[in-house]
Structure 1
C-alpha cells in the first residue's frame, strides 16, 4: 500500500507544468499534515519535479535531466544525439562499451565489431546488418532511414538501430565526451564505495542507557556511536565526552549530541574528508534522505580511500588535469645544482587565456593551488586539500609567456599548512597568493 508521502509525489507528478503548489494547498487537497506535505515537496524538489522561484513560489516543472551519467546506455545515447529509434527498442537499457565508425569495407571491419559496441554508419544496409548479427547496435547518421529487414533484425537481436541528423564526426565527438564524463565520474570515489553497511554498524537506541554505551564501547573498542529512534532514523551521536560524569542509568537521548553531521552515499569521499578533518570527527553516520541509518563511515576509512585515490592511474582528463598538466617541475639551478625547494614553470597556452588574451583568473588559481599541493607533497610527503586562497593578480600575464612559480612554507601543522606563492615573469613578480591547505592524515 502506498504511503502518504508516495501519494503526494504521485499527485505532484500529475499536475500540469507551471502549476503553483504550496504546503497548505497540498495538505488541504490530500488531507495530510503540513509537515508531511512539506517533506514531500522537498523530496519533489530534489528529484526535479518542482522548483522554488523567489517571489513566485513553488511550481511544477519538467523533470530535470540527470547531468552525471551513472552508466552509458543506448537509451542515454538517443538523448545525447537527439535521435530516434528505428528498431530494437528492447535493447535501449543495454550498456555501451565502445563505438566503431563504419568507414571501411565490411570484411575489414569485422574484427572491430564486438558485442555491446555501437556501429556509427550512414545508409549502408550491409554494414547495418553485419553489426546487428555480431551483437552491436547501429547509429545511422545524416538522417537516413533503414529498411524493414534491418529493423526486424534489430527487434530479433534486441539491439537498437538509432538515427540522428548529425554527421559522423559530430556524433562521435558527442559520444566520446559522454564516455569520458562517465570514466571521470567512476574515478571519483563516493561514500557508497567505502562505507560500512548497516549490518556491520554498531549503534544505540534512544531508550538505551549509559550502561549500554559502556558495554558496547568495551565490546567494540569504539567511543562514538550513532543514536537512532524506533524508526531507525538518526537523531544524534553519543561520544565518551557526552557521558563523562553521568550515572549509568541516564538515558542516551538525554546526553547525546542532537542534529549530528551526517553524510549520504552519493557524497564524494573528498568532501567528507574535508568535513572530518575540519571538525575533528572520527565517525559520521551514512543516511538516506529521511535520515534512516544506512551505515557509517570512519575517519580511517576515508583517509585510506583518499590515499588510494592519489595512487590511482588517471582514467580520463578533466579541465583541471589539462591545466596542471602544463606545469613543469624544476629541481636544479642553472648550474645543475639541486635545489632545496623546487620551483615550477609553465607557458601560457591559448587554452589558458580569456577573451582579451591574458591568463584566465581561474586557470591561474588552479596552477597556484596545484603548486601549493605539490610543495607540501615534496617536502612533507603529505597529501592536502585546498582550504582557502587569497590571490592577487599584480600584472597582466600575456599569451605565450613563460611563468615561474615559487612557493615558501610559512606554517606547517598537524591539520593545516600555510604557503606564500609568487609567480614571476622575467624576474618580475606578476601574481602573489597566500594559500591555506588542510593536511590529510597518513592512513
Structure 2
C-alpha cells in the first residue's frame, strides 16, 4: 500500500501543467495533515514537478529535462529581474535562446523577433503586441504595466508577459550574467547524472541474514551494500569487514553500520568524491529527501565523471578559469602569474582569496603534469609575508615533499620581486580506481 507521501506526489503529477496548488488545497483534497502536504510539495519542487514563483505562487510545471540545462527559462527570468507576471502563466517553463532589446521601430523589430526569444521593451503597446504575435515573450522595463489587450494576447499565445521596475540596460546585464552562470552550471556534474538507479542496485533488507549478504557478494563488483527498512528507507550499510567471523543466521541489522554517509541527487560529484576519498568508500547510497534509497554511486562512476569533465570544452568562465588563464608554466616546474587590477583589493594589493586560488590552480597544474589529474585539494595553510602589489610578476614554485597512493603533500613558495612573499602547505587527496 502506498504511503500518504507517495499518494500526494501522484496527485501532484496528475494535475495539468500551469495548475496552481497550495499546502491547504492538497491537505483538504487528500485528507492529510498540512505538515505531510508541505513535505511532499517540497520534494515535488526538488524533483521538478512544481515551482514556487514570487507573486504567483506554487504551480504545476513540466519536468525539466537535462538537454535544456544550458538554457534559461522564463520563470528564472522572473526571479532574476524581480518581475511581476501579468499573462502567459502556462508558458513560464519554456526556455529562451536569446533576448532582444526593442530600441527600434516596429518594422525593424521583425528582423530580430523569433520564437523562444524574449523582447525587452518599454511602454510601447504596439511593439509588445507585435512581439507576442510573432512568438516572443515580453519583458516590460521601467515599472510600466501592460494593457488588458496585450495580456489577452499573451494568455492566448501562452507566452509570458512580465514587467520589472529595473531599466533596460540593467535588465540586459542581469540576464546576460545569468546565461553565463547557466553555462557554468552545465559543466558541474551532479550525482543525478551518474548514479546507478534502484532497479539496477543490489541492496539488503534489515531482516536479511549474513548468509544473504554472502550470496549477494559472490557476483557483485563491490562489497558494500545499503540496508533498507520495509518501506525502502535507508537504515544502514554492511561491508565485508562487518560480517567477518559472524554466523550465517545472524540478522544483518545486528552487524550493519547505522546512519551511513549518503548522497542526494542534487549534490555535486566533487563534494561526494571528497567524502568517498577521505573515508575510503567504494560505494555510497543515493537517497531522496525522505531518506528513501533510490540508487548507489560508486568510485568508478566518480572516475568516469571526472574524466568526462576534463574533455569538455569551456563554455563559461568561472573565477578559477580566469585566474588559470593568467598562470603560465615556465622551466623547472615553476609557474608565473601577473597581478592585474581585477585580482587586487581596494588597497591595490593582491586579494587573499585570489592568492589562495592561484596556489590551488598551480598545484592542480603541477600534479596534472605528473599524470595525477584526479584529485581534490583537502587542506591548505597559506601564510602571507609581504604585500604583493598591482603589476607585480609572481613566481610560484610547488614541490612535493610527501606522496603515497591516496594523497600528496606539497610545499608552495610564492616569490614577488625576487622576495619570498607567501608560502603554503597543500594537502591533496588522489582518486584511484579500486
Q: Report the TM-score range of the alignment, normalised by the length of the smaller protein.
A: 0.7 to 0.9
Q: Distance in 2 between matches of 1:108 and 1:326?
A: 42
Q: Secondary structure at the match of 1:249?
A: coil
Q: How has the CA–CA distance of structure 1 residues 311 and 133 changed in structure 2, closer, same or farther, with 3 Å as cutoff?
A: same
8 Å CA contact 1:204–1:225 kept in 2: the answer is: yes
Query: Is 2:403 the counterpart of 1:441?
Result: no
8 Å CA contact 1:100–1:112 kept in 2: the answer is: yes
Q: Distance in 2 between matches of 1:218 and 1:176?
A: 54
Q: How has the CA–CA distance of structure 1 residues 73 and 217 changed in structure 2, closer, same or farther, with 3 Å as cutoff?
A: same
Q: Secondary structure at the match of 1:420?
A: strand
Query: Is 2:376 the counterpart of 1:385?
Result: yes
Q: Shift in Å at residue 147 of structure 1? A: 4.1
8 Å CA contact 1:83–1:162 kept in 2: the answer is: yes
Aligned residue in 2 for 1:262: 262
8 Å CA contact 1:416–1:437 kept in 2: the answer is: yes
Instruction: List aligned pairs for 1:99-110, cutoff 5 A.
Output: 99-110=99-110
Q: Secondary structure at the match of 1:379?
A: coil
User: After superposition, what is the alpha-carbon deviation per residue over 1:364-410, rounded to whole angstroms, capped at 9, x for unaligned?
Assistant: 00100110111000123433211111111010011121111111121
Alpha-carbon RMSD across the aligned residues, in angstroms, is 3.2
Aligned residue in 2 for 1:247: 247
From 398, 408, 414, the equivalent of 1:417 is 408
Which of 262-271 and 178-187 deviates more? 178-187
Aligned residue in 1 for 2:174: 174
Aligned residue in 2 for 1:344: 335
Aligned residue in 2 for 1:127: 127
Aligned residue in 2 for 1:50: none
Q: Distance in 1 between matches of 2:302 and 2:374?
A: 13
8 Å CA contact 1:87–1:161 kept in 2: the answer is: yes
Q: Distance in 2 between matches of 1:296 and 1:161?
A: 43
8 Å CA contact 1:373–1:383 kept in 2: the answer is: no
Query: Is 2:222 the counterpart of 1:222?
Result: yes
Aligned residue in 2 for 1:194: 194
Q: How has the CA–CA distance of structure 1 residues 5 and 106 changed in structure 2, closer, same or farther, with 3 Å as cutoff?
A: closer
Q: Shift in Å at residue 3 of structure 1? A: 4.7
Q: Shift in Å at residue 200 of structure 1? A: 0.7
Q: Shift in Å at residue 129 of structure 1? A: 2.7
Q: Shift in Å at residue 276 of structure 1? A: 0.9
Task: Give the count of matched residue pairs.
Answer: 389
8 Å CA contact 2:222–2:283 kept in 1: the answer is: no
Aligned residue in 1 for 2:81: 81
Aligned residue in 1 for 2:321: 321
8 Å CA contact 1:344–1:404 kept in 2: the answer is: yes
Query: Is 2:406 the counterpart of 1:430?
Result: no
Q: Secondary structure at the match of 1:241?
A: helix
Q: Distance in 2 between matches of 1:426 and 1:253?
A: 64
Q: Distance in 1 between matches of 2:87 and 2:349?
A: 51
Instruction: List aligned pairs for 1:348-363, cutoff 5 A.
Output: 348-363=339-354
Q: Secondary structure at the match of 2:97?
A: coil
Q: Secondary structure at the match of 1:304?
A: helix
Q: Shift in Å at residue 327 of structure 1? A: 1.6
Q: Shift in Å at residue 268 of structure 1? A: 0.8
User: After superposition, what is the alpha-carbon deviation per residue over 1:100-144, rounded to whole angstroms, capped at 9, x for unaligned?
Assistant: 122344454434322111011223344323321221101122233
Query: Is 2:364 the counterpart of 1:373?
Result: yes
Q: Shift in Å at residue 93 of structure 1? A: 3.1
Q: Shift in Å at residue 77 of structure 1? A: 1.9
Aligned residue in 1 for 2:47: none
Aligned residue in 1 for 2:65: none
Aligned residue in 1 for 2:63: none
Q: Distance in 2 between matches of 1:281 and 1:348?
A: 41
Q: Distance in 2 between matches of 1:340 and 1:348?
A: 22
Q: Secondary structure at the match of 2:402?
A: strand
Using the size of structure 2 for normalisation, the TM-score is 0.81
Q: Secondary structure at the match of 2:367?
A: helix
Q: Secondary structure at the match of 2:421?
A: strand
Which of 264-273 and 120-129 deviates more? 120-129
Q: Distance in 1 between matches of 2:431 and 2:106?
A: 55
Query: Is 2:417 the counterpart of 1:399?
Result: no
Q: Distance in 1 between matches of 2:170 and 2:346?
A: 26
Q: Shift in Å at residue 243 of structure 1? A: 1.5
Query: Is 2:140 the counterpart of 1:149?
Result: no
Q: How has the CA–CA distance of structure 1 residues 234 and 89 changed in structure 2, closer, same or farther, with 3 Å as cutoff?
A: closer
Q: Secondary structure at the match of 1:112?
A: coil
Q: Distance in 1 between matches of 2:338 and 2:140?
A: 43
Q: Distance in 1 between matches of 2:250 and 2:432?
A: 36
Instruction: List aligned pairs for 1:300-311, cutoff 5 A.
Output: 300-311=300-311
